């Protein structure tokens, strides 16, 4: 393993999540390696996509057919937007020397018995151990970002884990472990982006990393944002602070019906995305709701309840024990109604945000990919096999 410099390394982390609401950029200074890892956030900002580009990304995520030349055009446009975000976040600061860019996920297929999807081509007979491999695609190519910014750029973080048979997700739990663990307290770090994911961190002791677990819990903001867009004919794209949903009443029989969805009962490791909890799923939810004659506010309250109950159900079903505290991050941490519902369902377990633990809830994911790029440069693995299902640790990211 390469030793870290005693002087801070300035790194930019970039990510646009499944909500596609913009590029989160974090400029950080990092010292240490893992157990002595220290990160200082110097600047954080979200840069919205141009409206037309966001709409095109969302249509691709929804499975709309696209030509290869247009896919290349979108790939380039996303890389340009990420490069501009990297330049803007440095204004007024000493320049960074490294970028960690997650890119924009437009397709994610978890490992399954269908695996490579190569049908009857016979290739599976040549490499039978590839039967269950997943696939993931993040646009915004790192080589172009590196060229435009003149900085070393690490990107395509998920593919190495997936090539080993892992899910390539969630990737942030290893970073959470070294930045948010506690010597006596078991914690859940719950990210609520378009999709929710959890990292369970046991008390910090010998072999604690092997006792960690994590998975995608299901929908986060994805269904809520899609519903708001649908209910307002595109005039709004999200429910600020959950204020609209808070005026409604959840339909609990509907929530219980939706919780029977197979994904919620699959044991970890597991991952998901808009391929499951997207437009088609929302339309099915709206169809299911018709007999109940719900108001728009009731629909949002019911979808919020699904997000909250799916998170708590996954804790109760799959965790080795319930945590002492839950720390929220991501855009959903600002949804006060969702936070209130989680607190009610979790009872005496405090529901906080990672701000309360000293790590920005808004930019934690961007910070994490800055750390993963830093680790890649040092030769430190970035995945946790207990979380992703990969058979071993591996270096994450391609360097340009």
Q: How many domains does the chain have?
A: 2
User: 2 lies in a domain?
Assistant: no
Tens digit of pLDDT per residue, the chain (400 long)?
445 556 899 999 999 998 898 999 999 999 999 989 999 999 999 999 999 999 999 999 988 999 999 999 999 999 999 999 999 999 999 999 999 999 999 999 888 755 555 555 555 566 666 557 889 999 999 999 999 999 999 999 999 999 999 999 999 999 999 999 999 999 999 999 999 999 999 998 878 888 999 999 999 999 999 999 999 999 999 999 999 999 999 999 999 999 999 999 999 999 999 899 999 999 999 999 999 999 999 999 999 999 999 999 999 999 999 999 999 999 999 999 999 999 999 999 999 999 999 999 999 999 999 999 999 999 999 999 999 999 999 999 999 9
pTM equals 0.94
CATH value at residue 300: 3.30.420.40
Question: Residue 128 has what DSSP assignment?
Answer: G
User: 258 lies in a domain?
Assistant: yes
User: 287 lies in a domain?
Assistant: yes
Same domain, 108 and 55: yes
DSSP E strands, the chain: 9-16, 23-31, 38-47, 98-109, 135-139, 152-155, 187-192, 195-201, 213-219, 325-329, 351-353, 398-399
195 pairs with which residues across the strands?
Answer: 219
Same domain, 337 and 272: yes
Domain range for 155: 9-171+361-399
Q: Is the dihedral angle over the CA atoms 330, 336, 341, 347 positive or is it negative?
A: positive
C-beta neighbour count of 50 within 10 angstroms: 10
Same domain, 80 and 51: yes
| CA-only gyration radius of the chain, Å | 20
CA distance 152 to 255: 47
3-state SS assignment for residue 371 = helix
User: 382 lies in a domain?
Assistant: yes
């Amino acid at each position: 393993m390469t030793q870290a410099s005693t002087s801070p390394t300035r790194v930019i982390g970039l990510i646009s999540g499944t909500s596609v609401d913009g590029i989160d950029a974090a400029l950080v200074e990092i010292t240490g390696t893992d157990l002595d890892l220290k990160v200082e956030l110097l600047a954080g900002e979200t840069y919205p996509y141009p409206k037309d580009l966001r709409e095109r990304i969302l249509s691709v995520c929804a499975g709309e057919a696209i030509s290869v030349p247009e896919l290349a055009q979108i790939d380039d446009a996303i890389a340009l937007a990420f490069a501009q975000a990297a330049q803007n976040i440095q204004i007024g600061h000493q320049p960074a020397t490294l970028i960690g860019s997650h890119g924009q996920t437009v397709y994610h297929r978890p490992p399954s018995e269908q695996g490579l999807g190569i049908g009857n081509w016979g290739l599976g007979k040549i490499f039978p151990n590839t039967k269950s491999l997943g696939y993931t695609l993040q646009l915004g190519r790192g080589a172009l970002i590196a060229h435009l910014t003149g900085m070393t750029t690490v990107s395509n973080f998920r593919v190495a884990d997936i090539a080993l048979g892992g899910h390539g997700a969630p990737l942030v739990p290893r970073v959470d472990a070294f930045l948010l663990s506690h010597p006596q307290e078991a914690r859940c770090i719950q990210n609520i982006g378009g999709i929710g994911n959890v990292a369970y961190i046991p008390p910090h002791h010998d072999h604690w990393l092997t006792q960690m677990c994590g998975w995608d819990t299901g929908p986060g903001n994805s269904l809520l944002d899609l519903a708001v867009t649908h209910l307002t004919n595109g005039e709004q794209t999200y429910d600020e602070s959950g204020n609209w949903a808070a005026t409604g009443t959840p339909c609990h029989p509907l929530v219980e019906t939706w919780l029977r969805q197979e994904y919620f009962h699959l044991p970890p490791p597991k991952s998901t995305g808009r391929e499951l909890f997207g437009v088609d799923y929302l339309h099915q939810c709206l169809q299911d709701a018709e007999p109940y004659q719900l108001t728009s506010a009731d629909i949002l309250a019911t979808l919020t309840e699904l997000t909250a109950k799916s998170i708590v159900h996954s804790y109760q079903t799959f965790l080795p024990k319930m945590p002492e505290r839950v720390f929220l991050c991501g855009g959903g941490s600002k949804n006060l109604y969702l936070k209130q519902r989680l607190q009610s369902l979790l009872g005496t377990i405090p529901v906080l945000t990672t701000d309360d633990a000293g790590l920005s809830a808004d930019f934690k994911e961007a910070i994490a990919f800055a750390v993963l790029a830093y680790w890649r440069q040092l030769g430190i693995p970035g995945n946790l096999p207990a979380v992703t299902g990969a058979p071993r640790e591996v270096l994450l990211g391609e360097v340009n």
